[in-house]
Structure 1
Amino acid sequence: MDYKKMGAHVYIRVDKGDEILSSIRRVCSEMDVKSATFLGIGACDKVVVATFIPSKQNFLHHERNGMLEMISLQGNIVTNDKGELIEHAHGMFAYLKQDSGEMAYLGGHLLSAQVSYTAEIVLDTVEHGYIGHQFDPITKINVWKLEGE
């Protein structure tokens, strides 16, 4: 992995074998970034995405191995009340079905993605203030807590 701040953004190259979300957390930790948004593209060989099931207040996991083009990655990273970096990302992946040769797609809440060739991530850091987390009693999930200067 390599990264460099250029202007208002941090450009991250994630290398073969690296996991994308942990790489983003590492960059944020090393650069003392408290909150940011990110987007990216790349190629992966193992991904786990999830679908939230509101009636169960839990996620249904979907794992896929093989050649997966990461055609879209969008997310954010914030600081929780314990000072830990927490990411929330969604990804869309394309792959070739072995039995029919047709293109198929897998997307959802991204839990992990291992890079097979490279991934290119643009991190947009929050320069003034930061975004935290707070529990929302209505939806029963953590939501953004906006902290300004």
Structure 2
Amino acid sequence: MKYQRFEQTIIVRMDKGEDIVKQVKNVALKEKIKLASISALGAINEFTVGVFKTKEKKYYANEFKGDFEIVSLTGTINTMNDEYYSHMHLSAGNDQGQVFGGHLNKAIVSATCEMVIQIINGEVDRYFDEEVGLNLLKL
């Protein structure tokens, strides 16, 4: 991974074999990011995304392997209990144009991933909401 910071914007290039989720955390910790938005595109050959079943208050994971283009990767960097926290969603398309997606758990780059991290001045923490079953923004 290589990246360059331009004031409040970071441009990231992730390389073949790198896990996008892990690299976002690496950049955020190195740059001491407490609040930011994320967007990206690229190519991946393995990814795991989850779907939250609201009635059960539980995530179910779906794993995919093959050649996929990132159609959309969006998310946030913030904190929970003043520690790093990220929340990302991924949609990826195969060679037939079928798109699969959900809450991003893991994505391995097959060629490259180009990401923009837009830092926001401020800090927003999260808390676990018993009723919903998720870590919500504390606003």
CA distance in 1, matches of 2:101, 2:4: 28
Aligned residue for 2:94, secondary structure, equals strand
Gap regions ≥5 residues in structure 2:
none
CA shift, 1:47, in A, is 0.5
CA distance in 2, matches of 1:79, 1:135: 12
User: Is the 8 Å Cα contact of residues 54 and 132 (structure 2) preserved in structure 1?
Assistant: no
CA shift, 1:84, in A, is 2.3
One-letter amino acid matched to 1:67: D
CA distance in 2, matches of 1:140, 1:17: 33
Match status 1:62 vs 2:62:
yes
What's the counterpart of residue 102 of structure 2?
108
Match status 1:88 vs 2:91:
no
Gap regions ≥5 residues in structure 1:
97-101
Superimposed CA distance per residue, residues 81-121 of structure 1 (whole angstroms, 9 cap, x where no aligned partner): 1x32111111110002xxxxx32110111111000000000
Match status 1:134 vs 2:127:
yes
One-letter amino acid matched to 2:36: A
User: Is the 8 Å Cα contact of residues 43 and 111 (structure 2) preserved in structure 1?
Assistant: yes
Larger Rg: 1
CA distance in 1, matches of 2:97, 2:118: 32
Q: 4+ residue stretches of structure 1 with deviation over 6 A? A: none
Aligned-pair RMSD on alpha carbons?
1.2
What's the counterpart of residue 145 of structure 1?
138
What's the counterpart of residue 11 of structure 1?
11
CA distance in 2, matches of 1:90, 1:41: 12
CA distance in 1, matches of 2:94, 2:88: 20
CA distance in 2, matches of 1:13, 1:104: 25
CA distance in 1, matches of 2:60, 2:134: 16
* Sequence identity (%): 29
Match status 1:78 vs 2:72:
no
TM-score by length of 2: 0.94
CA distance in 1, matches of 2:135, 2:7: 31
What's the counterpart of residue 99 of structure 1?
none
